[in-house]
Structure 1
Amino acid sequence: MAPRRRRLLATVLFVSGAVTLAMGVALWDEPARLIRFAYQGQRLAAGLDRASIEIDGTRWVYAYSDDAPAGAATVVMLHGFTGSKENWYPLARRLRGRYRLLVPDLPGWGESGEKSGSVHGAGVDYGYRAQAQRVARFIQALAPAGAGERVLLGHSMGGGIAAVTAAGHPGQVDRVGLLAAAGVYFEANGFGERVLAGENPFAVGDEPSLEHYLGLLFEDDGARPWLPWPVDRIYIGERRASAGFEQSVLDRIGRSDEAFLPGASAAQIDQPTLLLWCRQDAVIDASAMEIYAREMPQAQAVLLDGCGHMSLMERSDRVAAAVNELIERGRPR
């Protein structure tokens, strides 16, 4: 091998080794970076960018795509309890290019806030009403009126927040989609009974509880996220550290005087609405869809089979088709 080629190869190997070592030191210093690297890969695969904004003292971190025709609708997606913006990436990948997309971590969750027992300090409210106020301001700041319709999608807790937002801030929401939305009575199941008893059925502190958590969420094993070692240990550690935060939020949305505020708000929702559930949902029983539908005669109800609580990940093609129908229904061709 020529000396010049040997020197080039040595340089490449040295740089590669240095980068690997630097990544190893970074992960050793802050193991959660490994999960963030994985999330970044998922975001890039979905064709999304990342940004942050501060609104009224609240920091939002969100994924987004502006790759859409002029005047296209803006679709805002709100994740559920213990979830994050990453839950929406499979659906976002199917909607990108047709609509403008805004996929935030809700305040207090993911990258939009520290998760701890203090929850940004004592007295901070992350219930339905307070989060709806923040969501309305987020939409107003990033999707002002006149730039196309604003479509608000919410899953589980995020669905409850979306319902309260659509009812209380109709000027910011033109169409709404509620996916397995919390906030109404439904037929008794194990999850609901444990919430009413003061427990957090989603709590994760070890490997068996992680398996229980994923089993509650997913009916379709093929859609479950793969958590190899050491990602599983890192995730368990993060969830254990956030247990106090999770409990405080669940106390607010599951057992306070506003636990059923989304259902009470449904009668004030006049916008075109999508209600979407999976028949095998073990968290928010599918009977909740009928209760929402009674208050919203304009709603289109879609019940999917063979999936659980995470329709946006388990049946993203079907959910994308339903969202397209919601947006296009009633619009001139």
Structure 2
Amino acid sequence: MRKALALRGHPLRTAALGAAVLLALVVAALMVAVALDPYRLVSAEFTRERIAAGLSRAEVEASGHRWVYAYSDDAPPGAPTVVMVHGFTGSKENWYPVAQRLRGRYRLRVPDLPGWGESERRPGEDYGFVAQSARLEAFVRTLSPQAPVVLLGHSMGGGIVALTAARHPRDVARVGLFDAAGVRFRDNVFGAEVLAGKNPFGVTDDSSLQRYLDTVYHVQAAKPRIPWPASRGLIERRRRDAGFEQSVLDRIGRGAERFLPGEEAASIHQPVLLLWCRQDAVIDPSALALYAERMPQAAQVMLEGCGHMSIMERPDAVADAIKALIDTPPGSTKR
């Protein structure tokens, strides 16, 4: 009996009880936080993906905006800096599968464009091709003031990259355009809806979220699984962003600057990679040939069995194409 009483006050038992109580409080606090903002689950998954890709997180002020970007400096001395730019409704996380395959070979910078993801958005600002191109140039100069970078862009990001490379050739050594917007491609359902004033990527409920995923992905296994309540958080976030998304589409999809990237691409003389997926239902694959007409030096890669999200559906093939772009001497025969 005395021994049992003695154990009740034993320091180890007291510490264990304290740890259990603390854990219970932490779990309860997390449950409350998720209930108040289920998007925290999405953010937590993004953090997990960044760490798994071997990337760190940083912030920088450039062009009057706070940028958040993922990065890796795990590369040989003198390795080129590669900047990866996401597309419409996208974020830096879209590039993580490719970045993971390039880490250790190049210095990597993967930003959220201003207005998107974790980067700053300012009411009333212009976030179209031209304005974002100027901001991207400032970001590049801030992070790589001594040497030009390899600039890669997906979808809307491709249009932004094309303008940046054309207007600021001293800052951009090589260019990669992946399923890039900015030219008058062959008519498809997506383009018709944009011209009709709609947002084909709009998300307001579970069914429109599934439609969005089905539109941008062709490979079923590549589609992200978004279980409840994370799906609720993502839907609520996209609802709040609906007005912003429409304002961007007004410029890049329906406005006077929508074909400007393709028009100015003729001024791009750096080595270029053009990569598309044959089953892209957003930016029709005919866009590759239209860009190639303006940049005869471009290497052209058409992948089979993938949709608009080439960088997530076929990261091995995309990474290999990027390595060829960077490592092939200028003037070599294009593929």
Distance, in Å, in 2 between the alignment partners of 1:234 and 1:160 is: 29
2:123 is equivalent to residue 121 of structure 1? yes
User: In structure 2, what residue type is equivalent to 1:66?
Assistant: D
Distance, in Å, in 1 between the alignment partners of 2:300 and 2:21 is: 59
Q: Please state whether the residue corresponding to 1:211 is helix, strand or coil.
A: helix
In structure 2, which of residues 17, 20, 40 is the aligned counterpart of residue 10 of structure 1?
A: 17
Distance, in Å, in 1 between the alignment partners of 2:61 and 2:71 is: 16
Cα deviation, residue 321, structure 1: 0.2
Distance, in Å, in 2 between the alignment partners of 1:22 and 1:111 is: 23
Cα deviation, residue 268, structure 1: 0.3
The aligned counterpart of 1:219 is: 218
In structure 2, which of residues 66, 70, 73 is the aligned counterpart of residue 66 of structure 1?
A: 73
Cα deviation, residue 18, structure 1: 1.9
The aligned counterpart of 2:306 is: 307
Task: Check the 8 A contact 2:50/2:56 in 1, yes or no.
Answer: yes
Matches within 5 A, 1:22-61: 22-61=29-68
Cα deviation, residue 35, structure 1: 1.4
Distance, in Å, in 2 between the alignment partners of 1:278 and 1:44 is: 28
Distance, in Å, in 1 between the alignment partners of 2:19 and 2:65 is: 44
Matches within 5 A, 1:1-333: 3-114=10-121, 120-122=122-124, 124-146=125-147, 149-330=148-329
User: In structure 1, what residue type is equivalent to 2:248?
Assistant: V
Cα deviation, residue 28, structure 1: 2.8
User: In structure 2, what residue type is equivalent to 1:10?
Assistant: L
Distance, in Å, in 2 between the alignment partners of 1:168 and 1:56 is: 16
Q: Please state whether the residue corresponding to 2:84 is helix, strand or coil.
A: strand
Distance, in Å, in 2 between the alignment partners of 1:30 and 1:246 is: 21
Cα deviation, residue 65, structure 1: 0.7
Cα deviation, residue 331, structure 1: 6.8
User: In structure 2, what residue type is equivalent to 1:203?
Assistant: G
Task: Check the 8 A contact 1:145/1:172 in 2, yes or no.
Answer: no
Distance, in Å, in 1 between the alignment partners of 2:36 and 2:61 is: 28
User: In structure 2, what residue type is equivalent to 1:177?
Assistant: G
Once superposed, which parts of structure 1, at least 4 consecutive aligned residues long, lie more than 4 Å away?
A: none
Deviations 1:246-282 (A, max 9, x none): 0000001011110000100110000000000000000
Tell me whether 1-10 or 187-196 shows the greater mean CA deviation: 1-10
User: In structure 2, what residue type is equivalent to 1:294?
Assistant: E
Task: Check the 8 A contact 1:58/1:107 in 2, yes or no.
Answer: yes
Distance, in Å, in 1 between the alignment partners of 2:94 and 2:313 is: 10
Deviations 1:279-302 (A, max 9, x none): 000000101000101111110000
Q: Kindly tell me: are residues 281 and 56 of structure 1, through their superposed partners in 2, closer, same or farther at Cα, counting changes over 3 Å? A: closer
Task: Check the 8 A contact 1:69/1:97 in 2, yes or no.
Answer: yes
Tell me whether 33-42 or 243-252 shows the greater mean CA deviation: 33-42
Task: Check the 8 A contact 1:107/1:113 in 2, yes or no.
Answer: yes
Cα deviation, residue 208, structure 1: 1.0
Distance, in Å, in 2 between the alignment partners of 1:58 and 1:323 is: 29
Cα deviation, residue 54, structure 1: 1.2
Task: Check the 8 A contact 2:86/2:112 in 1, yes or no.
Answer: yes
Cα deviation, residue 58, structure 1: 1.1
The RMSD of aligned alpha carbons is: 1.4
Cα deviation, residue 63, structure 1: 0.7
Distance, in Å, in 2 between the alignment partners of 1:194 and 1:16 is: 50
Task: Check the 8 A contact 1:307/1:315 in 2, yes or no.
Answer: yes
User: In structure 2, what residue type is equivalent to 1:121?
Assistant: P
- Structure 1 alignment gaps of length 5 or more: 115-119
Q: Please state whether the residue corresponding to 1:177 is helix, strand or coil.
A: strand
Distance, in Å, in 1 between the alignment partners of 2:196 and 2:82 is: 36
Distance, in Å, in 1 between the alignment partners of 2:93 and 2:113 is: 12
Q: Please state whether the residue corresponding to 2:253 is helix, strand or coil.
A: helix
Deviations 1:56-95 (A, max 9, x none): 3211111111111111010001100000001011111101
Deviations 1:104-130 (A, max 9, x none): 00011111124xxxxx222x1111111
Distance, in Å, in 2 between the alignment partners of 1:91 and 1:14 is: 42
The two structures have a TM-score, normalised by structure 1, of 0.94
Q: Please state whether the residue corresponding to 2:69 is helix, strand or coil.
A: strand
User: In structure 2, what residue type is equivalent to 1:15?
Assistant: L
Task: Check the 8 A contact 1:276/1:302 in 2, yes or no.
Answer: yes
Name the larger-Rg structure: 2
The aligned counterpart of 1:117 is: none
Distance, in Å, in 1 between the alignment partners of 2:220 and 2:63 is: 41
User: In structure 2, what residue type is equivalent to 1:326?
Assistant: L
Cα deviation, residue 9, structure 1: 2.3
